[in-house]
Amino acid sequence: MAKHKNKHRWFMLGLLSALIAAPNATFIRSVVAETGVLQFNIYRFAAATIVTAPIVWRHRKKYRPKNIPSMIAGSLLMTVAVLSYVSALKVAPASYVTIITLLTPIIFMIYASRLTGERFDSRSLAGVSLAAAGGLVLVAGPVALKQQGNFVFYPLGTALTLINCMTFPLSIIFFAKANKRGIPMTALMGVSTATTLVCAVVLVIVTKTPVPVPQPQVAATALYSGVMVAVVARSLNIASYEHIGAVVSSSLGYLESLLAIVLPVLILGERLSREMVVGGVLILVGVFVVEHHKSRHHKHHHAFHHH
């Protein structure tokens, strides 16, 4: 009973991370066109680095040879992931990018199976399949209905988004390894944000890109995206992974897609389309199936600890 309650608690923390991160793409899309990819990433990761610097310094003695490789690998992969994601949002519609990022949880499950030995039964896969179908319906449905003429393909946007899909889940696995070896999640996120900040600054210097003082809306978005999403939500997601497994984490990823579309309905009073209803139901059913399954094959066989 205590073990079940503890797992439920970690599931709720994973859900909280999805709630925090859901509006992220919308906010980034609203400012990145006028701000620029490198400038915005400097703003948001400067904020995140400042917030996490005391934590990184406090745990400096835990950065030992056995966990440094995983920490560095995770940080560099996360840098590639966040830069490619914001770049994709600048060159392609958010709905187009969202459709492709539905691949991320599936890729995460493949990584977990190959690298950690985590196994999935048919019921788990059925739950994730339902969630994936729901995500596809709620995102692709409205696009297909409103699309006039031939489908528009964005080669650069597609390539950048696929890079994000491949690097983000792999970075999470490396961070989880470093966490099990003694580095706290918040310290890992601090190192990650500092790495991204340094890389963005180097690119700005090399390309001679100006970085002006951000406008209030840009600054607020950078604080939210850099601190609440990049540090708080990601730390919660990584911390919950060991306790709820890759399948539940993947399903929560699809739930986050639902929330990202439903939020404007709740806040701005927009109409709820049939595609949102069908997709939302499929996602919620998928999460329910995965969360309540009891698999004899499921095990947390990790060389590590986990959005």
In a domain, 266, yes or no: yes
Average pLDDT per consecutive 10 residues, the chain (307 residues; last block may be shorter): 68 86 83 86 91 88 84 91 90 75 74 72 69 65 56 80 91 86 81 88 87 90 91 79 71 73 58 58 62 40 31
What is the pLDDT, as a whole number, of residue 220? Answer: 94
Contact 237, 306 (CB under 8 A): yes
Give CA–CA dist 157/91, Å, rounded: 6
In a domain, 304, yes or no: no
In a domain, 302, yes or no: no
In a domain, 299, yes or no: no
In a domain, 139, yes or no: yes
In a domain, 33, yes or no: yes
What is the pLDDT, as a whole number, of residue 296? Answer: 35
Contact 279, 139 (CB under 8 A): yes
Q: Which two tokens stand for residue 303?
A: 């060389």
In a domain, 54, yes or no: yes
Which residue segment(s) compose the domain that 50 sits in?
2-291
Give CA–CA dist 86/225, Å, rounded: 11
Give CA–CA dist 14/8, Å, rounded: 10
In a domain, 298, yes or no: no
- DSSP labels for 8-34? HHHHHHHHHHHHHHTTHHHHHHHHHHH
What is the pLDDT, as a whole number, of residue 186? Answer: 76
What is the pLDDT, as a whole number, of residue 219? Answer: 93
CA-closest candidate to residue 177, choices 167, 188, 168: 188
What is the pLDDT, as a whole number, of residue 28? Answer: 86
Q: What's the pTM?
A: 0.71
b/e map of 162-177 (b: 16 or more CB within 10 Å)? Answer: bbbbbbbbbbbbbbbb
What is the pLDDT, as a whole number, of residue 223? Answer: 94
What is the pLDDT, as a whole number, of residue 277? Answer: 59
- Structural domain count of the chain: 1
Place of tokens 């899309």: 29
